Amino acid sequence: MVLIGLPGCGKSTVGRQLAKRLNTAFQDTDAVITDRIGMPIRSFFEQEGEERFREIEHRVLAEFLDGGYQGVLATGGGIVLRDDNRECLRQARSVVYLRASPDDLVRRLRHDRQRPLLQVSDPLKRLRELYAVRDPLYRDVATFVIDTGRPSVSMLANLIATQLELDAANGRAC
């Protein structure tokens, strides 16, 4: 199962909790990429550019999904920007879009200096721009959407687990 959504929506945090609840493995594509490139993603963006990062990101996603990964996979917020990534995601068992409003995200991320696309003078404006472009792409590949709003991490993990169980009970592969 794959988690998608804007930066800061909780993919990694909720993903870890969900993996524990489901008694399965957890992986984060950004952590795998960081290990491979040997530096923080922000530094890589500055040195190599976003397009080079997106190429590596695609390879990592394809390795997980083509390899039949069975755990919870958190992805980077921009994973949906490439057509080939969206096609990979459409083939995944379950894709959960953790939807968060730009206003909620700016509150969560106000002290975060590690996200390269948010290191701008007006992060709220940037998050609104990202949301406008990415929300339709997330929706296009999502099996279901969970609004992150105010629920706790454990509540979000429980909501997702319940949805997965309902899908399985209704005969849809998870």
Q: Binding residue per annotation — 20?
A: no
Pairing between strand 26-28 and 2-4?
Answer: unpaired
The neighbour count for residue 146, using CB atoms within 10 Å, is: 22
pTM of the model: 0.89
Which of the 8 DSSP states describes residue 75? -
Classify residue 164: in a domain, yes or no: no
The residue segments making up the domain with residue 31 are 2-159
The neighbour count for residue 134, using CB atoms within 10 Å, is: 20
Classify residue 166: in a domain, yes or no: no
Classify residue 16: in a domain, yes or no: yes
Q: Binding residue per annotation — 8?
A: yes
Q: How many domains does the chain have?
A: 1
Q: Binding residue per annotation — 10?
A: yes
Q: Looking at residue 174, what is its pLDDT? A: 41
* 3-state DSSP percent of the chain in helix, strand and coil, to 5: 60, 10, 30
- Residue-wise pLDDT for 79-127, tens only, equals 999 999 999 999 888 999 999 999 998 887 766 666 655 666 788 898 9
Classify residue 171: in a domain, yes or no: no
Q: Binding residue per annotation — 54?
A: yes
Q: Would you say the C-alpha torsion 83, 88, 92, 95 has a positive or negative sign?
A: negative
Q: Binding residue per annotation — 30?
A: yes
Classify residue 145: in a domain, yes or no: yes
Classify residue 174: in a domain, yes or no: no
Classify residue 93: in a domain, yes or no: yes
Return the CATH number at 38: 3.40.50.300
Classify residue 169: in a domain, yes or no: no
